[in-house]
Structure formats: C-alpha cells, structure tokens
Amino acid sequence: MSNQEWNDAWGTLRFDNRFTRELPADRDESNSTRQVYQACYSRVMPKQVARPTLVAHSHEVAEQLGFVPDLVQSQQFADVFAGNALHPAMDPFAMCYGGHQFGNWAGQLGDGRAINLCEIVDRNGQHQTLQLKGAGPTPYSRFADGLAVLRSSVREFLCSEAMYHLGVPTTRALSLVLTGDSVTRDMFYDGNPKQEPGAIVCRVAPSFVRLGSFQIFASRDDESTLRQLAEFTIRNDFPHLGEPSPEVYAAFFAEVCQRTAELMIHWMRVGFVHGVMNTDNLSVLGLTIDYGPYGWLEDYDPGWTPNTTDAQGRRYRYGSQPQVAQWNLAQFAGALLPLVDHDIDSLQAGLQLYVDTFDDGWHTMMSAKLGLDKFRGDDDVQLFADLFDVLQMVETDMTLFYRRLADVPCETEPESVCERLADVYYQPEQIDDSVQNATTQWYQRYQQRVLQSGVSDAKRRERMNRINPLYVLRNYLAQLAIDRSDQGDHSGVTELLDVLRQPYQEQPGREKYAEKRPEWARHRAGCSMLSCSS
C-alpha cells in the first residue's frame, strides 16, 4: 500500500512516537531471546498471522483515537491490529523492564508477548500508546512464543472496558482480533496441552511504564538509563511537577504512591482481584494493567485469589491487595534512591502518603457504599468491621448484597432482614438463628446510624446505587461468552460489553447478567480459578 493510500484511510490520526524517539534503544536489532542492557526498548516486528478477523471493538476508544467507523469495519483495520500490516508512521517495539514476582526478584522480564505499535495523540490532545498483546515473540519472551489465545483475550478485552465504565483507572481495549492460527496451551500446566484459537487484543494507555521499568536499571547499577527514563516520564506524564531534580523525583514517587492507593480503593470497592500483583504489573500512572488471571469476588471472601499459581500462598488474595501494593511501592522506592541522592526520608514521605491516602479513602468509600452522610470515626470503623464479619458467616454475594441493602428500609422496620436479602445468599439453608441474630443486630445499628444522619431511604438508595455496581464481569459470564466465541458466535462478547457499559443502571430485560454465580460454575475451569496460561 502506498503512503497516499495510507493517508487517505488513516489521515485523521496524529502519530507521535516519543518513546522510541527520546529513549535509548536496544543496539541489537535481532529478535532473539537475550538480556538487553542500557536500553528502554527493543524494536521488533509483529508475527504475521493467517486470517485476521475483527471479533469486537470499543467504539468509544476508536472514536477517542480518531478512527472513523468505516475504517474500523475494514479488513485493513483487522490486518493492522493483528500485526499483518503497519502504517508507515508506526515504530513497533517491546519494552524492557524487570520485577518482583510473588515477592522474589525475577530479573529482566519485559514485554514478552506485547508489542507497542505506535503512539497517537487522541482527540483530547493526550498521547496514547497502542499495544498488541499476543503478536508474537520478542527479545523478552524467554521460553514462550509471545502469542495469546481467544479465552484470555476475550477476558482482557472485556475487563479493560468493564473497569473503565465502573470508574476504575485502567488501560483500555480498542480491538479483539482472531488470528486464524492455532496456539498450543496447557491451561492448568497439568500435562494436557491442546490447540486453541489465537487472538490479539489492542491495549491502549497514555503509558505502559510500570514500577519494574525503573527496577531493572537500578538492579544493574545503570543510573544513566534509569535517569533518562525518569526524566522522560516526568516530562511527559507528570509535567506539573517541574524540571527533574531530587525534590521532583521524590514528589514523583509520592504521586505514584497516591495514585496507587486510590486504585486499590477502587479495586476493593468493586470486588476486583488482580491475581498477579508483581511489581512489573503496577503502572506508574495508577492504572490497572495486565489482565491475566483476575477475578471478581462472588461470595465475600477476603482470602480468595483467582490465580492457580497463587493458590497455596495466596499472596495476591483480595484482602491483601492494599498491603501488597505498599510492599511493591517500597521496592520502587529502592530503585529511585540514586535519583534522590539516597535520601531515604524523602521517599518515606511518599510511603506514608500511601497509607494516609488509602486509610482516608477507604473510610470515605465504605461510608458511600453504605449510603451514609459522611465518615464519623471509630463507631463507623466498628460498623464496617462487624459487617464484614456478618458477610463471612454464610456465603454472601458481595455485589448483590450492597444493591439489595439499598432497598431494605431504614425509615420503617423490615419484617426480616435476612428474608429481604434472601437472593444474595448462595446457601440459604445455612442461615440459622446465629446468622439471623447477627445480621439483625448489625442492621439495627446501621439503621440507627442512617436515621441519626437524617438521610432518607430514597436518598440513601440513590447514593448506594451510584457507587455499588449491579453488573460486573462475573467470571462465569466471561466464560459463557468465551464458550460461544469458541463455537464461532461472538455475539456474546458484544452483548456482554454492552451491558457492562452501564454497570450502575438497572437494564430491563438483562436481569440474567445481574444474577449470582450459578452452582454449576462453582468449580468449573474459567469460572473460579484461572492460570497465567494465555
């Protein structure tokens, strides 16, 4: 295709590849697995695939980037976002970074199955990096093939958009493309590999720089590259902090801590469990990145993790996510020490900001989930803690609990709180006298708290339904969409995406998407535990 033909089709896009323009590149241009030194990235081309077919796309993301509808529906669009065709202005690369995995330093990791196509200035004037996940091997692939399969790609595509519409900071997803190739995967690493459809997701974010991007250079005593990356990041993503200096680097760290704390509050609010909170999977922008074996809490269980690899230690379980994030930030602080003249105290202030931001935000968030006027100190802390005890007495659907609680009156005495909440319990036969008494006692205290604040039932319900979603990407819903796609019917993906665009609004005719997990899904693969296989 000639440059003129590209311009005719893609002329509305504004390319600006500042990452590859301003940062040091890998001098070795071969696509061979190796250690990469003194470089932030390696240039690499996507693998050619057999038959690119667009399965789904986010029209909001496409519009934001400047893609017109006719172009999105064209074969050329599918070809580009499968890696088979490249616009002349694209400069594909894979990023170099390291990280702590499950608490242990893993050395160089990098984009092993992600290739950044280009950067675009969107219609809001913001830079966006377009990244293909599953587009083939890179120098960072280690022993893997750099590919991805349909099941994991559907989950990543849907969750990226679901999180955005929930109001959770996240990378976005532009497209989901089938490659036409088969990929061999052993889903649970149990010696039973099989052929699965290959697929590629185009992920979109202002930056994919993560904590591990800095750690790799600090671990190698490569202060020059570390400093170049830090200066680039501050200049482009944190320009309000001013020109780089030891003080500005400390302020940069503090802002990353604050954004991360706010992200953790959002995850806890909606019941999201990331599953792989390694330091290479935390963004410096405070975005949710790298959707691997994630999951949503069905029943309220702080000890639950969706990751089979983490099943024994449960390091990344739901209830530990805020503490893990703090630990990760402490490792990030160690990487930045050379930039602040080894002034540990200047970075300690950022870690304290994390704690203060999370604590304040948690109290505010929980007050809002319960429809209270504001947080009122120790009494409310005890009210929250007692609620969590009640939720764990019998298997209780977290998402539905808060929605149904909004409908239980405080201005009049309900006949039976447990009866009003009947459909939130997975095993209602377990509701004995002790559960009923504990639930009733908690509710009576909650009722008095609401009445003291002067909040009407109508106002409370409005507040609660504004922050407590009705529709989330339940694990079994994603699996049902995957099952249909495996059979060539991709309408389940687009239907589910459409529901998830309005997670707080009741959607008549779509009640089935707001039901608690069915019993058949309790232990089914893809509906409960997931592996890192992709």
> Which tokens belong to 529?
């535990």
For residue 45, the one-letter residue type is M
In the numeric block, the tokens 């077919």 are attached to 53
Measure the CA dihedral 177/207/109/217, to 10°: 160
Q: Coil, strand or helix: which one is 215? A: helix
Contact 179/52 with Cβ under 8 angstroms? yes
Q: Coil, strand or helix: which one is 105? A: strand
* Burial per residue of 103-116, b for 16 or more beta-carbon CB atoms within 10 angstroms, e otherwise: eeeeebbbbbbbbb
Q: Looking at the DSSP assignment, which residues form a beta bridge with residue 130?
A: 118, 204
> Which tokens belong to 210?
């993560």
- CA torsion sign for 49, 50, 52, 53 is negative
Burial, 74: exposed, middle or buried (Cβ in 10 Å; 0-12, 13-18, 19+)?
middle
Cβ contacts of residue 262 below 8 Å, gap of 6+?
169, 286, 357, 361
| Catalytic residue status for 280 | yes
| Cα(36)–Cα(291) distance, integer angstroms | 25
| Cα(410)–Cα(101) distance, integer angstroms | 47
- The residue among 371, 300, 407 whose CA lies nearest residue 419 is 407
User: For strand 172-185 and strand 114-121, is the pairing parallel, antiparallel, or unpaired?
Assistant: unpaired
CA distances from 512 to 295, 326, 470 (A): 19, 38, 11
| Cα(255)–Cα(261) distance, integer angstroms | 10
| Cα(146)–Cα(185) distance, integer angstroms | 12
> Which tokens belong to 307?
């990751």
Of the candidates 280, 290, 310, 397, the residue annotated as catalytic is 280
Helix (H), strand (E), coil (C) string for 309-324 = HHCCCCCCCHHHHHHH
Tell me the catalytic residues: 280
